[in-house]
Chains A and B, each alone.
Chain A
Amino acid sequence: MAAKAAAFKRSSAVAVRNPKLQQTLHHVVRHFTEARDAAVASEFPPETWEQMRERASSIKLQTLLNLDFYLDMVDRNVRRNGGHVHFAADAAEANRIVLDIAKRNAVKRVIKSKSMVSEEMRLNPTLEAEGIVPVETDLGEYIIQLAKETPFHIIAPAMHKTRQDVSRLFQDWLRSAPTDDIKTLCAIARNALRQQFATADMGVSGANFVVAETGTVVLVTNEGNGRMTTSVPRVHVALAGMERVIPAIEDVALFLRLLPRSATGQRITSYNSFISGPRRASDEDGPEEFHLVLVDNGRLNLLKDERLREALKCIRCGACLNVCPVYQKTGGHAYGWVYPGPIGAIVTPAMNGFARGADLPFASTLCGACKDVCPVKIDIPKLLLDLRPEAARRTGTWAERLLMRRWVDMMRARESLERSSRLARLMQRPLSREGVIRRSRLPLLAAWTQARDFPAVAEKSFARRWRDGLSRAEP
């Protein structure tokens, strides 16, 4: 358990030593950040963009502070639209709800458009265990599913796969001819997935926003698989984290301006779908059943903490990943769970009660780039700092804890500080050269000492020099 709880140090070290991965990360991350900067700067004066972020942040926060009210509103309006609403406290309950719906409808095949919540739930293995075939239809997610991996990036799940990797996967699974042409690879996937779309009995999607006022699920996609998933099968199930809700239909405009620009640098994505219940009797097509599953699964841990609550404003654009100097080197898998990058470093330990990602709050230089790009102004560095005391309790060594306790005692009183300084001056003599203690692997404290030089304690304390200086200045 401890290894799983604090695995970042090891997994990131592996990622950093993978040259192919480093090259891909460098390329992709630069592509995303440049596109985002261009999309924001070319259209809005900085103060306008700032006002938009401010408004979005305040809408999300006010919604969270009244979440019970708005979720009740969602429930009433989705039911008014003829849909069903389910409330799932955790992943197990959410899985049970989806399985029940599938079984009641004798579903054999499920097509999925992207849902991060379904990754949290591990819905695919759950369905497979019951003999139901889940098929991911977002191209990146499809590649990841064939490779039996987890997403590498919130919005570019297969960014670590080269065209050769994809060609090999398609050869193995779809018996296609090898090719280096990306257009051809897309066509192979299109044809393979068309069969799935035409024959699936149930579609499972995520939800970018859930509008309380109208009971509408908003999907933001580029490929068209989201439209297929929500239009072709007889049953549509939308999975939404309980914090996806926004109050009014007129709020959507603001969030549709912020999300695609922050995510991919697009003014808008190719498709936006607004789903308000199942098809009406007079409609030509569309699902006959619509279910919305609202999922907690650890979000309450964040909601009940006045400081961490802010992280639930996140609209999952992924901008904080792209600008993060840590993510830029480690990539997504090192974070060990569904949500990577700076926002993942907050929500992973918080949602999982530190049973996962306990060392993630330290996976940050606190440079603040994430805070600057966040479209809903989450103060990510501050939240990481807020999480660090708990993270240190969970992951530190006994030597560190002892050292920190001594440090606190020492700093508390004047006499103890001076006493300790005198002692330190004495003890550092064999280690220090020219005022610096050179890096070395000190037993038990290697993590602190093997990579940095420490300044040695000065021969004369400042207080002492102050006093000496004063005495000299006297006539």
Chain B
Amino acid sequence: MTTQPEASPAKEAFLQRIRQALGRAEPATSPPDHPPLKTNLVRQEEKLRTIRAKVEARRERNAERLAENATKVGWHVHRVETHDEAAAAVAAIAAGLHARNVVRTAEDCFRQADYDGPLRRARAAPIILASGRNRSRDSLKATAFDADLGVTGVSWAIAETASCVIVPRRGVARLASLAPPVYVAIVGIEQILETLDDYFATVRLEHMKGRGHVAAYANFISGPSRTADIEQTLTVGVHGPGVVHMLIVGRE
């Protein structure tokens, strides 16, 4: 990764005007006192240990809370014991849609069971959405826009807000969870966090450990794409998927 060239004169002038407006002549010498910026790696790791212990102790409770909150905001929630059952559930969803093309990501959950076999038996073609292997940017786009169903794993799920956290990376295209009209998220019970605070504390630790590097993109999906822009009437599926399924895999 390249760092862009040093600050511009426009920036200096801009910041100088702000200093003047605030009645200061010089840049602040010490950083402002903001506790979340002050923690060190040791303390943040300690915080994360506490969060992990809490999450582990309350797995089933958090899964129930996630399922309950998700249902409220329009997810179709399915609870299954194993990835084989999850694969069967995905195939059943595809069959119900008469889906021809199913795009999926290449991530850990798909190695836990054969997801593609049941899909093929349901007369759907599973396609891994990735830009390598002779696929240009445009053809990835076209494939995603043409798909009837998108299936992905998640990096985390958040029980408080019924959110699936997608962090795009190698094997995880952004469009898999966005372009198709129907979407399935596969959530392992061990991936469920309790609150937004748990999630952002996790990101902070990764950021600290990665010496300031973060993922280019992260996305919370918390229900179907929705709009109320015409007469305040709720309508789903305006740009993103209008039907969303959450498969929670595992039970404690």
Contact = CB atoms under 8 A, between A and B. Distances in A.
A270 B240 contact: yes
B18 A303 contact: yes
Contacts of B217: 230-231, 273-276, 279, 283, 286
Interface in B1-21: 1-4, 7-8, 10-11, 13-15, 17-21
Interface string B124-164: 00000111000001001110010000000000000001110
A437 interface: no
B93 interface: no
B218 interface: yes
A90 to B, nearest CB: 11
Nearest to A301: B21
A68 B239 contact: no
B51 interface: no
Interface string A402-433: 00000000000000000000000000000000
Interface in B50-72: 69
B229 A284 contact: no
Chain B interface: which size bin?
Answer: 35 or more
A62 interface: yes
B131 to A, nearest CB: 5
Contacts of B96: none
Contact of A161 (B171, B178, B230): B230
Contacts of B40: none
B233 A182 contact: yes
Given A249-B203, A286-B174, A71 B230 contact: no
B81 interface: no
Nearest to B212: A80
A156 B227 CA distance: 10
Interface in A200-258: 213-216, 222-225, 227-228, 230-232, 242, 247-253, 256-257
Nearest to B207: A214
B168 A166 contact: no
Given A213-B207, A256-B196, A279-B216, A269 B34 contact: no
A441 B91 CA distance: 77
Contact of B230 (A79, A89, A163, A232): A163
Given A138-B229, A139-B230, A190-B238, A80 B3 contact: yes
A257 B196 CA distance: 9
B46 interface: no
A230 B171 CA distance: 19
B235 to A, nearest CB: 5
B218 A224 contact: no
A287 to B, nearest CB: 9
A45 B118 CA distance: 48
Contacts of B195: 253
Interface string B68-103: 010001000000000000000000000000000000
Given A194-B145, A216-B214, A284 B131 contact: yes
A283 to B, nearest CB: 6
- Among A69, A252, A273, A275, find the residue whose CB has the most chain B CB atoms closer than 10 A: A69
Contact of A271 (B1, B196, B220): B220
A224 B34 contact: no
A18 interface: no
B200 A249 contact: yes
B170 interface: yes
Interface string A261-283: 00010111111111111111111
A81 B204 contact: no
Contacts of A83: 4
Contacts of B131: 284-285
B163 to A, nearest CB: 6
Contacts of B141: 198, 232, 285
B224 interface: yes
B220 A62 contact: no
B187 interface: no
A401 B83 CA distance: 78
A171 interface: no
Nearest to A71: B15
B168 A284 contact: yes
B7 A163 contact: no
Interface string B220-237: 111111111111110101
B230 A284 contact: no
B168 A247 contact: no
B200 A222 contact: no
A186 B238 contact: yes
A75 interface: yes
A103 B32 CA distance: 39
Contacts of A228: 178, 239
B219 A186 contact: no
A338 interface: no
A27 B231 CA distance: 9
A72 interface: yes
Contacts of B32: 62, 65-66, 69-70, 247
A247 B169 contact: no
Given A68-B27, A284-B168, A253 B227 contact: no
Contacts of B11: 75, 85, 87
A133 interface: no
A140 B229 CA distance: 5
Q: 5 tightest CB-CB pairs across the interface, nearest first?
A: A224-B240, A304-B21, A140-B229, A224-B239, A248-B36
Interface of B: 1-4, 7-8, 10-11, 13-15, 17-22, 24, 27-28, 31-32, 34, 36-37, 69, 73, 129-131, 137, 140-142, 145, 161-163, 168-175, 178, 195-197, 199-201, 203-204, 207, 212-233, 235, 237-241
13 contacts: A68-B22, A69-B27, A70-B32, A80-B1, A139-B229, A222-B226, A227-B219, A250-B200, A253-B200, A268-B162, A270-B222, A285-B141, A303-B21
